[in-house]
Amino acid sequence: MTATLRIVLAQLNLCVGDIEGNLAKHIQAAQRARDTFSADMIVFPELSLTGYPPEDLLLREAFIQETRKALQAFISEVKDIYCLVGHPLATKKGLYNACSLIYNNKVIAEYAKQHLPNYGVFDEDRYFIADHQSCVVPVKNIPVGIIICEDAWSPAPIKQAAANGARLILVPNASPFETDKHEERVKILKARAEESHLPILYVNNVGGQDELVFDGGSMMVNEKGDVCKFAGFFKETLLPVDIAINATQIKSDTIVIPATLERTYQALVVGLRDYIDKNCIPGVLVGASGGIDSALTLTIAVDALGKDRVRGIMMPSRYTADISTLDAVDLIQRLGIQSETISIEPSFKAFLDSLSLSFKGKSADVTEENIQARCRGVILMSLSNKSGWLVLTTGNRSELAVGYCTLYGDMAGGFAVLKDVPKTLVYQLAHYRNQLSAVIPERTLNRAPTAELAANQKDEDSLPPYSVLDKILECYLNHGQSVDDIIAQGFDPEVVRKVVNLVLKSEYKRKQAAIGTHINHKSFGKDWRYPLTNRFKG
């Protein structure tokens, strides 16, 4: 005899700390799943009531109490549908990362996460204690096993649930985007399904939260490990899934997965949009230089917020080439945004005049270049103060890694859209975006990168070609390879040592950099925690 369940996966964009707003989304989604989809059950993401990650809010008793009240309000409000809700659970033993299965005003089961991730961007050991109890509960006479996120990355929790009679596994998640994360998830879920011979329902949240961005990708994997249902990326949706236990075959949808480049661009758009909107910021300001980084930043900003909430600020100097101004104007016109031109020449000259006695007898060097960048930073931050709009910095990961940026200059701002985007990927993303509509001028794409802080300046005057630099940084930063390991791959020893030395010397800048969307598995910020005072050079 075939037993069936209709389960809705609630792929929602939840906001950390907005317990009232998150509760309203839960109630609305549950009622819609019940009334529109005739669902037997709805599954919400990990820590769905609080949003993820709540971080040190979990250390505040008032936060835990408010979450508990919201859970009780949900229990009282929703009937006639099983609901799996994520929340912190305070006990005498400690705080658990938990979820509760609720039906007709009662909690019929609770499950606490067994494996607490404490690597990369995760530090759940700081807040939670782990449990090691299986949870298998009947839903319409079908034994359903429940685990949470990281539990799926280890074979034991699902094996434990299967041994206790589970015929189906539910996995609420809060799994951040990385460029290859979807493929990793599918690989893991396929392995767990094949090991247990059980179908798995995986639900993830979507949206930006500070550096993190969640891509969704909720799915159903059958007992053979095939992805049968898929909710898509970067969109809120309720995905109904019909589960037939003992059926000979589960019908699969035709599933098309966007290419990595498209997903990465979407992640940057959503990460920026949610940071601005969730913090109630009216708009953004971007220094428009005519270069590729500012062009891509402006384009992402318009895609995220709309042209009326983005303003380009051109700040030419004595070293700004005419083609830079022309390309910046061209981009601004193509995007349809408002702009303003403020020359830095008067302020730059004023600084040089003020410092002339102090600089007497000393030749010009990087100091004068940094003064120009800081003039631009002061202008942008002044406009930000007056308007309430946030400054977006335009530096990329490659520059930040080696310190090719000016503290309190081009690093001044509130959000760094390209902070985790290597320079070579900047070009790839710009070409991808131009395939959708040609907004970035062709000359901007083809012109040699330059900071234009000195006459005839090119980035490669100070750095190796970005194609080489990014490969060395990938080896050193992402894979933790030593200088000798990198040299052994055929890179010029002098270049490798120079790059690694620049990375080590620039840590103080990165500690003061604006946050930006995490897309890489070793991003600066939560993923990179090196001491400033550090004499290790290996």
Dig out the tokens for 16 from the structure. Answer: 């950390």
Angle at 62 between CA 61 and CA 68, to 5 degrees: 90
Q: Which residue in 15, 46, 278, 419 is the catalytic one?
A: 46
* Half-sphere exposure in the Cβ direction for 45 (13 Å, CA): 34
Angle between helices 466-473 and 423-436 (to 10 degrees): 110
- Radius of gyration of the chain from Cα atoms? 26
Q: Which residue in 15, 83, 99, 149 is the catalytic one?
A: 149
The per-residue DSSP string of 301-352 comes to: HHHHH-GGGEEEEE---TT--HHHHHHHHHHHHHHT-EEEE--SHHHHHHHH
Query: 183 in helix, strand or coil?
Result: helix
> What's phi and psi for 113, nearest 5 deg?
-60, 135
Q: Is 452 assigned a catalytic role?
A: no
Q: Is 149 assigned a catalytic role?
A: yes
| CA distances to 45, 46, 95, 207 from 131, in Å | 19, 16, 10, 29
Longest dimension (CA), the chain: 93
Angle at 190 between CA 187 and CA 195, to 5 degrees: 125
Q: Count other C-beta atoms under 10 Å from residue 537's C-beta.
A: 9
Query: 32 in helix, strand or coil?
Result: helix
Q: Which residue in 66, 99, 110, 113 is the catalytic one?
A: 113
Q: Are strands 390-393 and 200-203 parallel, antiparallel or unpaired?
A: unpaired
Q: Are strands 284-287 and 41-43 parallel, antiparallel or unpaired?
A: unpaired
Nearest to 133 by CA among 147, 118, 119, 150: 147
| CA distances to 30, 346, 368 from 350, in Å | 63, 6, 12
Catalytic residues: 46, 113, 149
